[in-house]
């Protein structure tokens, strides 16, 4: 009698769930080993040829990354696509490129070998310094260098070449440029040894709505090609060789979550209003016209943040006034009469233009970025302001200045806006003379002086991603300090409270457009603190709307009162969880 084949024992691993969803499929192991480089030595008369090869590879790599960005923005919005801006920074870093050229000349070595040696040297140096931002750039340099070497060697990236049907990707790590190419028609989910909730890979997984777990330590060693795998991206649980019972149980969990999500879809035409009648505006964050359909589909009441810089990124030149006017006019028309808030160029930090050499700095997050850059180049800033004004005829556009740090910046920006209005008046070009102007509060200095700034604007919008980062001195995409990035930190909540109170004291409405707004656990807290508008990614609108509609304003106010007396962010979260468990327990399944 033949022996019965032994069934593999299930293996349960715990990591960090960074993108929700329960899926089951077969493992597809991805290795990112660098291609072997041969024939490193060159003759002296080949040096210029090798430098030309390097420059050609830079052009091709830049073209590929911009293409990936454009494709990703169309599929997942601009939030995920912005992650690859850091890769363009590396490609435009002439100091890095000149080091490679010096290596080619000095050691008479080919471009591939010089690139590998220089990138390894940069990696070692950056990883050894005590600057978290520079240490984080190691991963970007590795990713870009890998792609550059492939282009130098004339080889296409074959990482996913064997993927002929839907699989669960398993890897030690997935660089952003690889994650950006994943598609839901061929990838069920992914799991990695490394990573954190704030890593570039995690950001992209959420943008693509692909269930994902990171920080599993050794899943790439434990799983084998073709193994059946179950991942729960909500809880961070991965099971290799799940039993029939486990598959059944998690299948029911997945069905339950899908039912909840279908229920949320029915809220599209409902108002974001608490059970006792407190009404807030629920808007969407977008970066291009392709996302407008999603704004309407998910039931947002307009656009609370239009990231205007994404029309500029990856172009060879600045958009002129006519091109910008056409863009903003289309945006206003597509959503009228719903309001649309256009954030003026937020360039610098982790976002750059392909053609702007003036944004390359040692520490760009603390450098000449956003409103600082606009005020340094008023001729470019005025082009954008004039374009917004010209597109404002429908009276649903608003202007918002990013990264305001002091009253002087608002005053100067308003002076330039007044100049633009005077010019258009002389030219007899129609525009909305009373267009609303607001300030983004994302630096502690702005929050602490909000009372003064309020006298010069019509609204505030709290950009909590940067507010948390600057308040706690934590790079939000640095895996080493991710545990310190705490939106519920008492210091952050105090700055939010001060901003809301200052705004209301001056009869301004106050919105919030950071990641905090998209977390239903925090929706009720922000509501209780008195925020008037929440702006989130279009896909997050239904769950945030449901959270608002499940609670009373008095319950939210009590939560806020308690939270503002807490001594730690963990304590605040515990109170938030207690309230949502009481009024909307099923939302915890999706969070």
Burial degree of 88 (CB within 10 A; 0-12, 13-18, 19+): buried
CB burial string 215-235: b at 16+ within 10 A, e below: bbeebbebbeeebbbbbbbbb
Residue 87: predicted pLDDT: 82
Q: How many residues does the chain have?
A: 591
pLDDT tens, position by position, 10-53: 999 999 888 888 999 999 998 876 667 766 789 999 999 999 99
pLDDT at 479: 58
Q: In what order do the strands lie in the sheet with 11-14?
A: 11-14, 237-240, 228-232, 22-30, 167-171, 187-192, 212-214, 16-19
Check: CB of residue 160 under 8 Å from CB of residue 17: no
In whole angstroms, give the CA distance from residue 173 to residue 194.
6
Pairing of strands 16-19, 212-214: antiparallel
Q: What phi-psi label fits residue 475: left (phi over 0), alpha (psi between -120 and 50 degrees) or beta? A: beta
**For residue 351, is pLDDT > 50?**
no
Residue 428 sits at the vertex; the CA angle it makes with 426 and 432, to the nearest 5 degrees, is 100
569: nearest Cα among 531, 516, 513:
516
**Axis crossing angle, helix 321-335 with helix 378-390, rounded to the nearest 10:** 40
Average pLDDT over residues 73-85: 65
Q: Is the per-residue pLDDT at 197 higher than 80?
A: no
Per-position DSSP letters for 78-140, written without gaps between them: HHHHGGGHHHHHHHT-HHHHHHHHHHHHHHTB-HHHHHHHHHHHHHHHHHHSS-HHHHHHHHH
**In this predicted model, what pLDDT tens digit does every residue of 246-296 receive, in sequence order?**
999 988 888 877 887 788 888 989 999 999 999 999 999 988 887 888 899
- Least reliable range by pLDDT among 3-7, 221-225, 463-467: 3-7
Compare 156 and 258 and report the one with higher pLDDT: 258
- Return the minimum-mean-pLDDT range out of 26-35, 185-194, 239-248: 26-35
Whether the Cβ atoms of residue 110 and residue 81 lie closer than 8 Å to each other: no
Distance CA 231, CA 23 (A): 6
Residue 79: the pLDDT is 56
Rg (CA), the chain: 25
523 touches 271 (CB < 8 A): no
Top pLDDT among 238 and 475 is at: 238
The third-level CATH classification (topology) of the domain covering 44-152 is: Enzyme I; Chain A, domain 2 (1.10.274)
- The full DSSP string for 270-310 is S--B-TTS-B-EEEEEESSGGGHHHHHHTT--SEEEEEGGG
pLDDT grade for 76, boundaries at 50, 70 and 90: low
Asked if residue 543 lies in contact with residue 512, where contact means CB atoms within 8 angstroms, the answer is no
Q: Which residue has the higher pLDDT, 450 or 134?
A: 450
Residue 364 is classified by DSSP as G
Domain borders along the chain are 11-32+159-262, 44-152, 266-590
Q: What is the pLDDT of residue 353?
A: 47
For range 352-356, the mean pLDDT: 46
Residue 295 in contact with residue 547, Cβ under 8 Å?
Answer: no
H or E stretch covering 462: strand 459-462
CB-CB contact of 169 with 30 (8 Å): yes
Active site residues: 200, 513
Does 580 or 252 have the greater pLDDT score? 580
CA 275 to CA 581: how far, in whole Å?
16
User: What confidence tier does 132 reach under pLDDT thresholds 50, 70, 90?
Assistant: very low
257 token code pair: 């979550």
Closest CA to 126 of 140, 115, 137, 142: 137
- Please check the confidence at residue 3 and state whether its pLDDT lies above 60: no
Which of 381, 461, 367, 453 has its CA nearest to residue 411? 453
Local confidence band at 142 (pLDDT 50, 70, 90 cut-offs): confident
> Mean pLDDT throughout 194-219?
82
Q: In this structure, what token pair is assigned to residue 66?
A: 């911009």
Q: Summarize pLDDT for 520-555 with one digit per residue, the tens.
A: 989 999 999 999 999 998 888 999 999 999 999 999
Confidence of residue 133 (pLDDT cuts 50, 70, 90): very low
Whether 313 has a pLDDT exceeding 70, the answer reads no
* CATH fold for domain 11-32+159-262: Glucose Oxidase; domain 1 (3.50.30)
- Does residue 131 have a pLDDT over 50? no
What stretches of 400-487 show up as alpha helix (H) in DSSP? 407-426, 444-448, 450-453, 464-472
Pairing of strands 16-19, 459-462: unpaired
Q: Between 364 and 246, where is the model more confident?
A: 246
CATH architecture of structural domain 266-590: Alpha-Beta Barrel (3.20)
Residue 84 scores a pLDDT above 60: yes
- Answer whether 414's CB lies under 8 Å from 456's CB: yes
444 pLDDT above the threshold of 50: yes
Give the HSE-up count for residue 184: Cα atoms under 13 Å, Cβ half-sphere: 14
The DSSP symbol for 336 reads: T
Burial of residue 439 (CB within 10 Å: 0-12, 13-18, 19+) is: buried
Amino acid 198: pLDDT:
62
The backbone torsions φ and ψ at residue 41, rounded to the nearest 5 degrees and listed phi first, read -80, 140
Stated as kind and residue range, the H or E segment containing 352 is none
CA separation for the pair 172, 195 (Å, rounded): 9
Q: Are strands 281-286 and 509-512 parallel, antiparallel or unpaired?
A: unpaired
> What confidence tier does 321 reach under pLDDT thresholds 50, 70, 90?
very high
89: pLDDT confidence band, cut at 50, 70 and 90?
A: confident
> Do the two domains 11-32+159-262 and 44-152 of this chain adopt the same fold?
no
Tokens representing residue 550 in the block: 């499940």
- Spatial CB neighbours of 357, under 8 Å, sequence gap ≥ 6: 92
Segment 384-396, tens digit of pLDDT: 999 999 999 989 9
Mean pLDDT of 300-324: 85
Query: Which of the four pLDDT bands, split at 50, 70 and 90, describes residue 354?
Result: very low
pTM exceeding the 0.75 threshold for the entire prediction: no
Q: 214, 201 in Cβ contact below 8 A? A: yes
Q: Per the structure block, which two tokens stand in for 57?
A: 């590879």
Q: What is the pLDDT of residues 399-414, one digit of tens each?
A: 999 999 999 999 999 9
Average pLDDT, the chain: 87
Peptide bond into 337 cis (omega under 30): yes
Q: 417 to each of 68, 287, 339, 379, 422, how far by Cα in Å?
A: 35, 23, 20, 12, 9
């Amino acid at each position: 009698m033949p022996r019965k084949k032994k069934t593999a024992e299930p293996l349960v691993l715990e990591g960090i769930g960074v993108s929700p969803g329960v899926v089951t499929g077969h493992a597809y192991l991805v290795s990112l080993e660098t291609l072997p480089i041969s024939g490193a030595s060159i003759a002296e008369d080949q040096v210029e040829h090798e430098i030309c090869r390097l420059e050609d590879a830079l052009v091709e790599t830049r073209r590929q990354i911009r293409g990936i960005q454009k494709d990703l923005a169309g599929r997942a919005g601009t939030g995920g696509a912005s992650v690859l801006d850091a890769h363009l920074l590396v490609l435009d870093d002439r100091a890095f490129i000149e080091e490679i050229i010096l290596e080619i000349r000095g050691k008479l070595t080919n471009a591939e070998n010089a690139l590998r040696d220089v990138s390894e040297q940069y990696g070692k140096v950056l990883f050894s310094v005590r600057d978290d931002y520079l240490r984080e750039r190691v991963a970007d340099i590795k990713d870009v260098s890998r792609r550059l070497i492939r282009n130098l060697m004339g080889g296409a990236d074959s990482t996913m070449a064997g993927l002929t049907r839907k699989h669960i990707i398993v890897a030690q790590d997935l660089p952003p440029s690889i994650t950006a190419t994943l598609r839901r028609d061929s990838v069920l989910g992914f799991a990695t040894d490394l990573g954190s909730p704030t890593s570039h890979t995690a950001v992209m997984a959420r943008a693509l709505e692909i269930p994902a777990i990171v920080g599993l330590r050794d899943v790439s060693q434990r799983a084998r090609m073709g193994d059946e795998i179950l991942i729960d991206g909500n809880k961070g649980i991965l099971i290799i060789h799940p039993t029939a019972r486990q598959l059944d149980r998690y299948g029911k969990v997945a069905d339950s979550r899908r039912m909840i999500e279908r229920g949320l879809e029915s809220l599209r035409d409902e108002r974001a209003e608490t059970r006792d009648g407190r009404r807030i505006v629920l808007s969407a964050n977008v970066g291009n016209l392709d996302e407008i359909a999603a704004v309407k589909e998910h039931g947002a009441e307009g656009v609370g943040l239009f990231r205007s810089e994404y029309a500029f990124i990856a172009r060879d030149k600045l958009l002129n006034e006519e091109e910008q006017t056409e863009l903003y006019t289309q945006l206003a028309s597509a959503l009228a009469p719903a309001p649309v808030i256009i954030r003026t160029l937020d360039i610098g930090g982790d976002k750059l233009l392909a053609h702007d050499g003036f944004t390359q700095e040692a520490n760009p997050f603390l450098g000449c970025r956003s409103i600082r850059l606009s005020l340094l180049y008023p001729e470019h800033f005025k082009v954008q302001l004039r374009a917004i004004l010209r597109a404002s005829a429908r009276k649903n556009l608003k202007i918002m200045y990013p990264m305001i740090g002091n009253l002087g910046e608002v005053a100067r920006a308003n002076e330039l806006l007044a100049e633009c209005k005077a010019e258009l008046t002389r030219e007899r070009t129609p525009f909305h003379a009373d267009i609303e102007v607001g300030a983004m509060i994302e630096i502690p200095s702005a929050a602490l002086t909000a009372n003064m700034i309020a006298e010069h604007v019509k609204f505030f919008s709290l950009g909590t991603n940067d507010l948390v980062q600057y308040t706690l001195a934590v790079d939000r995409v640095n895996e080493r300090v991710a545990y310190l990035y705490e939106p519920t930190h008492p210091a952050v909540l105090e700055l939010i409270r001060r901003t809301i109170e200052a705004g209301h004291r001056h009869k301004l409405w106050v919105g919030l457009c950071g990641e905090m707004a998209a977390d239903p656990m925090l929706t009720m807290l922000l509501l209780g603190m008195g925020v008037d508008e929440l702006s989130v990614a279009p896909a997050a609108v239904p769950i945030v709307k449901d959270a608002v509609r499940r609670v009373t304003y008095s319950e939210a106010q009590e939560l806020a009162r308690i939270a503002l007396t807490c001594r730690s962010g963990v304590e605040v979260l515990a109170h938030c969880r207690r309230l949502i468990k009481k009024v909307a327990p099923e939302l915890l399944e999706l969070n």
